C-alpha cells in the first residue's frame, strides 16, 4: 500500500493503490494554538497509506510554536502560509490555497482538497478510503470521515452530520456512544465534519469555499448544503477514521456560536418570503431559551442564547450576500435536500435519549450511599458522624473507643421543635406587649400611617412617576410601596389588617428567620433555639415596633434569610442534611464548593425587599458581595446576581433623584426625628441612645446606678464576646472574620448616615434611621457567635481518649454557665419590654432607659379624613382637604391631603427631601416655592381670623374642605375663629376633627353662585372666573368638555412640569403659566380632553424592572435536584474521555489535553478532558460547544 511519508522528506513517488495516478490531493492543515496536537496530526498525515501529493500549512496567529511545528513537520516543499488570528477556518484555507505557486495539476477536475484541523489525526488508511469512495461514485464531490475521540477511539464523535427542519445541527450519536460498527453502513448523508473533509477543488472554487459569514460553527454544514443544491453528492466514509480532539476553548465554537449559525443557515436557505417570519420566530425562540436557561439555573446559557438569537437576525448585509452567492450555484430546488433532514420524531427521540443519559454523565459527582464528595471534604452520614480525622462511618473498635457513640440512637425529637418553641415564646411576649393592637382595623403613629384600601391604589403609588402628595411633585414612587403591595396581597387585599398582623407577629417571624439561618452555621439545636430567641427580642426590633418603622421591621425579619441565601449562593451553607442522623455534639464537615444559582435568585429577591425597606443596606450588601468575591473567587459569581433585582428596583428612584441623591437614603414612612446611639451602644444592639444612669421599668426599687448599662451588657454582651472568640478558635475563623468586617462596615455606614439629612420633621431635619444597619451588624455578630458556640460544644462532646472514649465531663459546667448567660439576655429584654406595655405602666423615663424610645403606634381608623371630605376627594372632582393641627406651643401645622387622607404607600422620600438644600452636614430648609407659599398664605388667613377671604388661594390648591384635628384646648379656640372666616361653612365636629366646607361666592340674595367651583381641574374664562370644573382621575384625565368662549384656560392644580401633556381631540394644547399650577391655553371647541404625565424613562425602566424581576423569580424557583432536570437545547453534555489503556481499545496518545490552547480560527469544539501529570484524567464540564460532535450538540 506504500510507505509512510516522513517529516522533511519528499513524498513517496509510488503508491500501491487502485486509485488512478492522475488524481492528485492537496492536504491543507490549519492551526491555531495547536502545538499540543500538531505533532500527532502531522505524524498521522505523513503515515498515510496513500500520501497526499501536496501539502499546505496555515497558521492563524498562534501564540505557541504551532507555526514552527508546521514548518518542521510538513514534507519538504510544503507551502506554509500565515493568516490573521481572527481568520475563520474557510478564510485560512483560502489563504493557504492562494499561497500556492502554481495549480496542482493541468486538469483541475481531478484535484482534491483534504482539509485537516490541527487536532484531527487521520488513521493511516483514511485518505485512501476517502479516495476509493469518490472514485466509485463520480457524482460525490465531498466525502467525510468517521470522527472518534482523540483519547479514546472507542468513543464516537460523529459519523456524518444532519440537520433538523430548523437547521439545528445533529449527529444522532448518543452520549458516550461506543463505536461498534453500528454506523458503518452510512453513506449518503446531509453533511460531514470539516475535519478530514475531502472536497473536489473545482467544486470548492465554484461554491466559493466556506461562507465567510460562518467563520466557525456551521461552515461545513453550509458547504455541503450548497454542494447538494448544486447537483452533487455528499457521503460519509465510516472506513476512514479521524481522531478528533475538537472540544477546546474557542470563541468561534461556543454554544452561542452554534445558535447564531443555526439561525443564519435557516434564514440563508429559506425562501425569501419566509425570512421575516423565521427571523421573528428565532428571536422569540431566543426568549424561550432565556426562560429555560433561568429555570435550569444557567444564566450564562440563557443570556448567550438570547444574544445569539438577536445577533443572528441583525446581519442583513451578510445574509444578503450569502443568499445571493447560494442562489448563483443552486441548480436544484430547495426541497431536494428535504429527505436528508432528520425527521421530527427522530429528533425528539434523540433529545430524550440524551436527556435521560445526562445524570449518568455526572455520576462521579452524585452522592454514593448518601455521601457527597467535593475535593477533600465529605458530606453524608459517614462524614456527619465522623471526626476530622475519620471520614468513614463509626464502627465498634473492640477497645470501647467510640462504641457507645456509634451505637447511640439519634435524637428522636423533631428538629423543628426548637423553632416552634421559640416562636411560641416570642408570640406570647408580642401579644402581651401589643395586646391593644388586637382587633385594630389599622395602625398609625410615629413613622406609620394607614395604607390605601385597595391593592390597585398601592400599585399606582408604587409605579407612578408623579407623586400625589400636596400639590404634587415629579418623581417615581418609593420602592417600598411594592413591598406594601406584596404585604397587602398576602393579606388577600386587606392591606391594613395585613400590617396589623405583621406587627403582632414580627417577633416570632424574626425568630423563625434566625432559626433557619442558624442552621447554616451550627447543627446544635440549643444554639439555634437561642439564636431565634435573641433575634426576636433585639432592641432594634422593639424600637421599630414602638416607632412604627415598618421598613426597618421588615428588613429585620428578612435579614437572616438574606444571609442564608447568600451563604448558599456561594456554597458555604450545607444543604439537605438529615438532622436525625447527626449525633449531638459530633463535629460536622461541611461541604461548600458548589455555588447555587437558585439561592442567588432567592437572595436577589430578598435583597430587593430588604433594600426597598431600608435603602442604606444596599451599600452594605454591595460591599459584602465585593468582599466575598475577593475571598472565594469564581464561586461568588452567582452572588453578583443578588444585586441586580435591588438595583433594578432602585433605578427609577435614582433617575428621579439625580438632583437630590440624598433621597436615596431616606427611610419609608413619615419622617421622624430621633437621637442616634453612640457607636459602642450600637455595637451592643441599641440604635437609639439611652441614659446610662437612667431608670428601668419594673426595677425602680433598685438603688441608683448604671442599670441600663448593665441591661445592655446582659442583652448584647454574650453575643459580642462569643463573636470575638470566633476570630481565634474553630475551623471557620475565616467566615467569622468576614462577619466581623461586615459588622464593622455596617456600623461605619450608620455613623456616616448621621451626616446626611433626608427629610424634615416638625422638630428639625431627619437623617436615615440607624436601626437596619444596627440589625445587620448585630446579626453578623450573631453568626460569628454561633460559630464559636458550635466549636465550644463540639469540643465538650468530643471523646476523651484518656477516659476510655467517654465524652468529656470537665466542660459540662462551662456549657451550663454559657447557656444561662445566653438565655438571660433574651429573657431580660422580653420581660422589660412586654410587661410594662402589657400593664400600661410605660413612662418616658422608664422606656428611654431601656431602648431610648417611647411607643408611638396606636390603633387608628383606616381613613384619616372625615367621610364627607374623603368621598369628595375620591369623586370625579378630586378635591383636596387642608388639614390643620395645633401643638402644645399653639403652633399650627398644615398638610394638604388627597382622597381619604395621606397613606403609608402615598408617602415619598423624594417629596420629603425636596425642601432640603446645602452640602452634606450643612443642610438647611429651602425657601417655600409658590405652591407651598399658597398653602402658608391660606393657613395664615384662616387661623388669624381677620376677615380676609382665603378662597382664591384655596381654589388654586384645589381645596374643598378644611379640617382641624382635635388636639387640645387651643384647637377649640382656633375652631371658634375659623367659623367666621369668609368662604368656610362649618359642617360640624366629626371623629376626625372639626370640618368646614369651602363655599362659592354669594349673590345678592345670599346664595352661592356656583357651589362646585373647586376641583383638581378647572376651566377658567378669559376674566379668570371659573367656567366649569372637569372630571379627573387620581393623576390622569380622560373626559369630554363642552365648547365655550375664546380665551379659556385649562388649569390643573399640580405643580407645573414639562412632563404634563394635554390634548383636545388628539391635538396637543399649548402650555401656559398660571402661577405655580400647570395650565394650558384652551380653544373654544369642545371634545375629548386627555391630560397625562409622561416621562421618557417610564416605558424603558418599567420593562427593565419587569424583565429582571421575572428572570430572578425563574432563577429562584426550585426545580428537581437531578442535574439537567430542565432540557436546554444546544447545551452540550460532558463526555467521559481521557487517555486510556491500549488494551481497552483506546489511543495511546501522549501529551496532556489541557485547555489552554484555543482555536479561534478553527471551527473545532472545546476540549473535553484535562490530564494531570503523566496521564491521570480529570474530566471537565465545559458548557461551550460548537455542536460538531456526537452528544456535544446537546440536543435534549
Residue 756 phi, psi dihedral angles, 5° rounding: -115, 110
Cell of 364: 462521579
Shared domain for 886 and 1026, answered yes or no, is no
Whole-angstrom distance, CA of residue 1145 vs CA of residue 882: 91
The torsion angles phi and psi of 296, rounded to 5 degrees, stand at: -85, 5
Note the pLDDT tens digit of each residue in 1078-1104: 999 999 999 999 999 999 999 999 999
At 1004, list the grid cell: 345678592
What pLDDT is attached to residue 579? 40
Q: How far is CA 1097 from CA 465, 475, 911, 1036, 1037, in A?
A: 9, 11, 19, 18, 21
- Tens of pLDDT, residues 843-853: 444 444 456 56
**Does 1050 reside within a domain?**
yes
Q: C-alpha cell of 675?
A: 437621637
Tell me if residue 765 falls in helix, strand or coil: strand
Tell me what pLDDT residue 342 has: 86
Q: Distance between CA atoms of 740 and 720, rounded to whole angstroms? A: 10
Quick one: pLDDT at residue 636? 87
What is the domain range of residue 1034? Answer: 1017-1098
Average pLDDT over residues 827-851: 70
290 falls within a domain? yes
pLDDT tens-digit map of 598-609: 999 999 999 999
CA angle, residues 784, 785, 787, in degrees to nearest 5: 65
Phi, psi of 858 (to 5 degrees): -145, 160
Look at residue 794 in the predicted model and tell me its pLDDT.
79
Cell numbers for 1014? 373647586
Q: In this structure, are 249 and 331 located in the same domain?
A: yes
Query: Is 1192 in contact with 1185 (CB distance < 8 Å)?
Result: yes
Is 797 inside any structural domain? yes
Of the ranges 169-178, 470-479, 746-755, 1127-1136, which one carries the lowest mean pLDDT score? 1127-1136
Strands (E) in 1056-1183, as ranges, are: 1060-1064, 1067-1068, 1071-1074, 1077-1082, 1087-1093, 1169-1172, 1176-1179
pLDDT digits (tens, 9 = 90+) for 986-1029: 998 888 889 999 987 665 555 555 445 789 999 999 888 888 99
Are 1024 and 1073 members of one domain?
yes
Q: Are 199 and 191 in contact (CB under 8 A)?
A: no
Q: In sequence order, what DSSP letters do the residues of 889-938 get, joined into one string?
A: TS-EEEEEE-TTS--TTT--HHHHTTTEESSTT--EEPPP-HHHHHHHHH
Alpha-carbon distances of 64 from 110, 216, 726, 1114, 1169, rounded to whole Å: 36, 21, 49, 43, 20
Same-domain pairing of 1050 and 994:
no
Confidence check: pLDDT of 1109 > 70:
yes
944, 966, 998 — which closes off a domain? 998
Which band of pLDDT confidence, cut at 50, 70 and 90, is reported for residue 574? low
Q: Are 888 and 762 in contact (CB under 8 A)?
A: no
* 550 in the same domain as 441: yes
The C-alpha atoms of residue 616 and residue 593 are separated, in whole angstroms, by 31
Q: In the prediction, which pLDDT does 814 show?
A: 66
Dihedral sign of CA atoms 362, 363, 369, 375 in order: negative
In tens, the pLDDT along 153-169 reads 899 999 999 998 888 88
Burial 260-269 (b: 16+ CB within 10 A, else e): bbbbbbbbbb
What CATH number is associated with residue 341? 3.90.550.10
On the question of pLDDT at 517 being above 60, the answer is yes
Q: Are residues 110 and 236 in the same domain?
A: yes
What pLDDT does residue 847 have? 43
pLDDT for position 9 = 36
DSSP output for 448-496: B-PPPSSHHHHHHHHH-SEE-STT-EESPPPTHHHHHHHHHHHTTT-HH
Burial code (b: 16+ CB inside 10 Å, e: under 16) for 1030-1065 equals bbbebbebeeebeebeeebbbbbbbbbeeebebebe
For residue 693, which phi and psi values (nearest 5 degrees)?
A: -105, 15
Share of the chain above pLDDT 70, in %: 79
The answer for 695, left when phi > 0, alpha when psi is -120 to 50, beta otherwise, is beta
843 and 867 co-located in one domain: no
Q: What whole-number distance in Å separates Cα of residue 770 and Cα of residue 696?
A: 23
Q: Is 944 in the same domain as 973?
A: yes
Band the pLDDT of 502: cuts 50, 70, 90.
very high
pLDDT attached to residue 585: 38
CA 1117 to each of CA 648, 1001, 1121: distance values in angstroms, whole numbers, following the listed order: 19, 63, 12
The answer to whether residues 599 and 668 belong to one domain is yes
Q: pLDDT confidence of 412, banded at 50, 70, 90?
A: low
Does 584 score more than 70 pLDDT? no
Q: What is the mean pLDDT of residues 744-772?
A: 93
Chain centroid offset of residue 1150 CA: 44
Q: Higher pLDDT residue, 745 or 951?
A: 745
Q: So what's the pLDDT on residue 252?
A: 58
Q: What is the pLDDT of residue 457?
A: 94
| Neighbour-count burial of 1143, counting CB atoms closer than 10 A to its CB (0-12 exposed, 13-18 middle, 19+ buried) | exposed
Which of 273-277, 409-413, 888-892, 949-953: highest mean pLDDT? 273-277
* All three cell numbers of 383: 462524614
Look at residue 522 and give its three-state secondary structure. coil
| Structure confidence at residue 581 (pLDDT) | 35
Q: Domain total for the chain? A: 4
1176 within a domain of the structure (yes/no)? no
pLDDT digits (tens, 9 = 90+) for 7-29: 333 443 333 344 445 789 999 99
Distance CA 59, CA 868 (A): 86
Could you give the CA distance from residue 86 to residue 61 in angstroms, rounded to a whole number?
8
Residue 795 DSSP SS3: helix
CA–CA gap between residue 788 and residue 726 (Å, rounded): 5
Arithmetic mean of pLDDT, 123-141: 93
Q: Which of 737-746, 760-769, 1147-1156 has the lowest mean pLDDT?
A: 1147-1156
At residue 540, does pLDDT exceed 80? yes
- 1140-1158 tens-digit pLDDT: 433 333 333 333 333 333 3
Same domain, yes or no: 276 and 218? yes
Residues of the chain with pLDDT > 90, as a percent, come to 55
* Residues 1022 and 440 sit within 8 Å (Cβ to Cβ): no
Say which range, 62-71, 80-89, 364-373, 588-597, has the weakest mean pLDDT.
Answer: 364-373
Q: Is 436 helix (H, G, I), strand (E, B) or coil?
A: helix
371 DSSP β-pair partners: 368
In a domain? residue 1185 = no
User: Could you tell me which residue, 1012 or 428, shows the higher pLDDT?
Assistant: 428
Q: Which three cell numbers stand for residue 970?
A: 387651643
pLDDT of residue 1102: 93
Q: Nearest Cα to 1166, choosing from 1186, 1151, 1152? A: 1186
**Statement to judge: residues 990 and 890 lie in one domain:** yes
Residue 1040 in this model has a pLDDT that exceeds 80:
yes
Among residues 1074, 1098, 1122, the one where a domain terminates is 1098
Query: Which has more pLDDT, 583 or 819?
Result: 819
pLDDT for 170 equals 87
What pLDDT digit, counting tens, does each position of 1062-1076 carry? 999 999 999 997 789
Whether 53 maps to a domain, the answer reads yes
In-domain check, residue 375: no
CA distance 54 to 71: 14
Over residues 174-187, the mean pLDDT reads 86
Q: What is the pLDDT of residue 698?
A: 67
Inside any domain, residue 209: yes
Phi, psi of 321, deg, nearest 5: -65, -40
Angle between helices 597-613 and 1097-1116 (to 10 degrees): 130
Are 650 and 618 in contact, with CB atoms under 8 Å apart? yes
- Mean of the pLDDT values across residues 800-816? 57
DSSP string, 31-53: ESS-TTTHHHHHHHHHT-SS--S
Mean pLDDT of the chain: 81
Residue with cell 377658567: 1020
How far apart CA 53 and CA 435 sit, in angstroms, is 97
- pLDDT value for 882: 95
Which of the listed residues 1098, 1116, 1144 is the one where a domain comes to its end?
A: 1098
The answer on 1029 and 963 residing in a single domain is no
Amino acid at each position: 500500500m506504500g510507505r509512510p511519508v516522513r517529516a522533511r522528506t519528499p513524498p513517496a513517488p509510488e503508491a500501491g493503490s487502485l486509485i488512478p495516478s492522475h488524481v492528485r490531493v492537496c492536504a491543507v492543515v490549519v492551526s491555531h494554538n495547536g502545538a499540543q496536537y500538531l505533532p500527532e496530526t502531522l505524524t498521522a498525515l505523513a503515515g498515510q497509506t496513500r500520501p497526499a501529493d501536496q501539502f499546505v500549512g496555515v497558521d492563524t496567529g498562534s501564540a505557541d510554536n504551532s507555526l514552527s511545528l508546521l514548518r518542521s513537520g510538513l514534507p519538504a516543499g510544503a507551502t506554509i502560509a500565515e493568516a490573521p488570528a481572527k481568520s475563520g477556518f474557510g478564510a485560512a484555507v483560502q489563504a493557504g490555497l492562494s499561497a500556492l505557486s502554481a495549480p496542482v495539476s493541468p486538469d483541475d477536475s481531478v484535484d482534491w482538497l483534504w482539509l485537516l484541523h490541527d487536532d484531527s489525526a487521520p488513521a493511516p488508511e483514511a485518505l485512501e478510503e476517502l479516495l476509493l469512495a469518490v472514485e466509485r461514485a463520480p457524482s460525490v464531490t465531498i466525502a467525510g470521515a468517521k470522527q472518534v475521540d482523540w483519547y479514546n477511539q472507542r468513543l464516537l464523535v460523529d459519523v456524518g452530520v444532519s440537520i433538523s427542519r430548523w437547521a439545528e445541527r445533529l449527529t444522532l450519536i448518543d452520549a458516550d456512544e461506543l463505536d461498534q460498527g453500528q454506523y458503518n453502513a452510512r453513506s449518503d448523508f446531509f453533511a460531514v465534519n470539516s475535519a478530514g473533509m475531502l472536497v473536489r477543488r473545482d467544486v470548492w472554487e465554484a461554491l466559493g469555499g466556506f461562507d465567510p459569514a460562518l467563520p466557525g460553527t456551521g461552515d461545513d454544514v453550509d458547504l455541503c448544503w450548497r454542494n447538494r443544491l448544486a447537483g452533487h453528492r455528499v457521503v460519509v466514509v465510516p472506513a476512514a477514521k479521524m481522531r478528533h480532539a475538537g472540544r477546546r476553548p474557542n470563541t468561534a465554537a461556543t454554544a452561542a456560536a452554534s445558535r447564531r449559525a443555526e439561525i443564519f443557515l435557516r434564514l440563508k436557505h429559506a425562501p425569501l418570503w419566509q425570512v421575516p417570519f423565521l427571523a421573528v420566530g428565532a428571536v422569540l425562540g431566543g426568549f424561550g431559551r432565556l426562560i429555560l436557561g433561568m429555570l435550569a439555573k444557567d444564566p450564562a446559557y440563557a443570556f448567550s442564547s438570547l444574544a445569539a438569537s438577536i445577533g443572528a437576525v441583525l446581519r442583513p448585509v451578510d445574509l444578503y450576500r450569502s443568499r445571493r452567492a447560494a442562489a448563483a450555484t443552486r441548480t436544484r430546488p430547495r426541497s431536494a435536500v428535504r429527505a436528508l433532514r432528520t425527521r421530527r420524531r427522530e429528533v425528539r427521540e434523540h433529545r430524550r435519549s440524551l436527556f435521560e443519559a445526562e445524570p449518568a454523565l455526572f455520576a462521579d459527582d452524585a452522592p454514593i450511599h448518601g455521601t457527597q464528595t467535593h475535593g477533600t471534604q465529605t458530606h453524608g452520614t459517614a462524614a456527619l458522624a465522623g471526626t476530622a480525622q475519620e471520614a468513614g462511618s463509626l464502627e465498634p473498635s473492640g477497645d470501647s473507643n467510640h462504641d457507645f457513640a456509634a451505637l447511640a440512637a439519634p435524637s428522636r425529637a423533631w428538629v423543628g421543635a426548637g423553632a416552634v418553641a421559640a416562636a411560641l415564646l416570642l408570640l406570647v411576649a408580642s401579644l402581651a406587649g401589643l395586646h391593644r393592637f388586637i382587633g385594630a382595623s389599622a395602625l398609625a403613629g410615629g413613622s406609620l400611617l394607614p395604607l390605601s384600601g385597595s391593592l390597585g391604589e398601592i400599585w399606582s403609588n408604587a409605579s407612578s412617576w408623579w407623586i400625589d402628595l400636596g400639590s404634587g411633585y415629579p418623581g417615581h414612587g418609593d420602592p417600598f410601596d411594592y413591598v406594601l403591595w406584596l404585604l397587602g396581597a398576602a393579606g388577600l387585599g386587606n392591606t391594613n389588617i395585613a400590617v396589623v398582623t405583621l406587627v403582632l407577629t414580627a417577633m416570632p417571624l424574626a425568630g423563625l428567620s434566625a432559626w433557619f439561618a442558624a442552621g447554616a452555621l451550627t447543627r446544635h439545636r440549643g444554639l439555634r433555639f437561642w439564636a431565634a430567641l435573641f433575634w426576636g427580642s433585639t432592641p432594634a426590633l422593639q424600637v421599630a415596633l414602638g416607632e412604627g418603622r415598618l421598613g426597618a421591621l421588615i428588613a429585620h425579619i428578612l435579614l437572616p434569610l438574606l444571609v442564608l441565601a447568600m451563604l448558599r449562593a456561594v456554597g458555604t451553607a450545607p444543604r439537605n442534611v438529615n438532622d436525625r442522623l447527626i449525633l449531638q455534639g459530633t463535629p460536622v464537615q461541611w461541604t461548600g464548593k458548589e455555588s447555587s444559582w437558585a439561592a442567588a435568585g432567592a437572595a436577589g429577591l430578598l435583597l430587593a425587599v430588604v433594600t426597598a425597606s431600608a435603602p442604606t443596606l444596599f451599600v452594605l450588601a454591595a460591599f459584602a458581595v465585593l468582599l466575598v468575591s475577593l475571598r472565594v473567587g469564581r464561586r461568588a459569581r452567582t452572588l453578583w446576581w443578588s444585586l441586580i433585582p435591588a438595583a433594578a428596583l432602585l433605578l427609577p428612584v435614582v433617575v428621579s433623584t439625580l438632583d437630590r441623591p440624598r433621597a436615596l437614603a431616606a427611610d419609608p414612612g413619615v419622617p421622624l426625628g430621633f437621637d442616634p446611639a453612640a457607636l459602642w451602644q450600637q455595637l451592643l444592639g441599641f440604635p437609639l441612645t439611652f441614659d446610662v444612669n437612667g431608670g428601668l421599668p419594673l426595677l425602680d426599687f433598685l438603688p441608683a446606678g448604671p442599670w441600663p448599662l448593665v441591661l445592655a451588657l446582659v442583652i448584647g454582651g454574650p453575643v459580642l464576646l462569643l463573636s470575638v472568640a470566633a476570630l481565634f478558635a474553630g475551623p471557620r475563623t475565616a467566615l467569622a472574620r468576614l462577619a466581623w468586617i461586615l459588622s464593622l462596615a455596617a456600623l461605619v455606614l450608620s455613623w456616616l448616615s448621621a451626616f446626611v439629612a433626608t427629610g424634615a420633621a416638625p422638630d428639625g431635619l431627619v437623617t436615615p434611621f440607624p436601626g437596619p444597619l444596627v440589625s445587620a451588624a448585630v446579626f453578623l455578630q450573631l453568626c460569628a457567635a454561633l460559630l464559636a458556640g458550635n466549636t465550644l460544644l463540639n469540643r465538650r462532646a468530643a471523646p476523651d481518649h484518656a477516659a476510655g472514649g467517654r465524652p468529656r465531663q470537665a466542660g459540662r459546667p462551662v456549657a451550663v454557665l454559657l447557656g444561662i448567660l445566653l438565655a438571660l439576655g433574651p429573657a431580660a429584654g422580653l420581660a422589660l419590654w412586654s410587661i410594662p406595655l402589657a400593664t400600661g405602666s410605660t413612662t418616658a423615663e422608664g422606656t428611654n432607659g431601656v431602648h431610648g424610645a417611647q411607643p408611638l403606634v396606636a390603633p387608628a381608623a383606616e381613613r384619616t379624613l372625615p367621610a364627607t371630605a374623603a368621598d369628595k376627594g375620591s369623586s370625579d372632582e378630586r378635591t383636596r382637604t387642608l388639614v390643620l393641627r395645633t401643638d402644645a406651643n399653639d403652633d399650627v401645622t398644615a398638610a394638604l391631603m388627597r382622597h381619604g387622607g395621606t397613606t403609608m404607600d402615598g408617602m415619598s422620600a423624594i417629596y420629603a427631601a425636596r425642601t432640603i438644600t446645602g452640602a452634606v452636614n450643612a443642610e438647611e430648609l429651602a425657601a417655600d416655592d409658590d405652591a407651598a407659599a399658597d398653602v402658608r398664605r391660606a393657613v395664615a388667613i384662616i387661623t388669624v381670623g381677620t376677615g380676609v377671604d382665603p378662597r382664591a388661594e384655596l381654589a388654586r390648591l384645589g381645596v374643598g374642605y378644611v379640617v382641624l384635628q382635635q388636639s387640645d384646648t387651643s384647637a377649640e379656640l382656633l375652631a371658634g375663629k375659623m367659623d367666621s372666616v369668609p368662604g368656610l361653612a362649618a359642617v360640624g365636629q366629626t371623629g376626625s376633627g372639626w370640618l368646614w366646607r369651602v363655599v362659592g361666592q354669594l349673590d345678592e340674595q345670599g346664595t352661592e353662585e356656583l357651589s362646585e367651583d373647586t376641583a383638581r381641574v378647572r376651566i377658567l374664562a378669559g376674566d379668570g372666573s371659573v367656567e366649569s370644573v372637569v372630571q379627573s382621575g387620581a393623576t390622569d384625565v380622560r373626559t369630554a368638555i363642552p365648547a365655550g368662549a375664546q380665551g379659556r384656560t385649562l388649569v390643573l392644580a399640580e405643580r407645573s412640569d414639562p412632563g404634563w401633556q394635554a390634548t383636545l381631540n388628539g391635538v396637543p394644547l399649548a402650555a401656559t403659566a398660571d402661577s405655580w399650577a400647570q395650565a394650558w391655553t384652551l380653544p373654544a371647541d369642545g371634545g375629548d380632553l386627555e391630560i397625562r404625565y409622561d416621562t421618557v424613562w417610564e416605558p424603558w425602566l418599567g420593562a427593565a424592572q419587569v424583565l429582571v424581576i421575572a428572570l430572578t423569580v425563574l432563577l429562584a424557583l426550585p426545580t428537581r435536584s437531578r442535574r439537567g432536570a430542565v432540557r436546554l437545547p444546544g447545551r452540550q453534555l460532558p463526555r467521559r474521555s481521557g487517555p486510556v489503556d491500549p488494551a481497552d481499545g483506546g489511543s495511546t496518545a501522549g501529551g496532556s489535553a489541557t485547555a489552554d490552547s484555543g482555536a479561534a480560527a478553527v471551527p473545532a469544539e472545546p476540549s473535553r478532558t484535562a490530564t494531570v501529570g503523566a496521564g491521570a484524567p480529570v474530566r471537565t464540564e465545559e458548557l461551550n460547544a460548537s455542536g460538531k460532535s456526537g452528544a456535544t450538540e446537546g440536543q435534549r
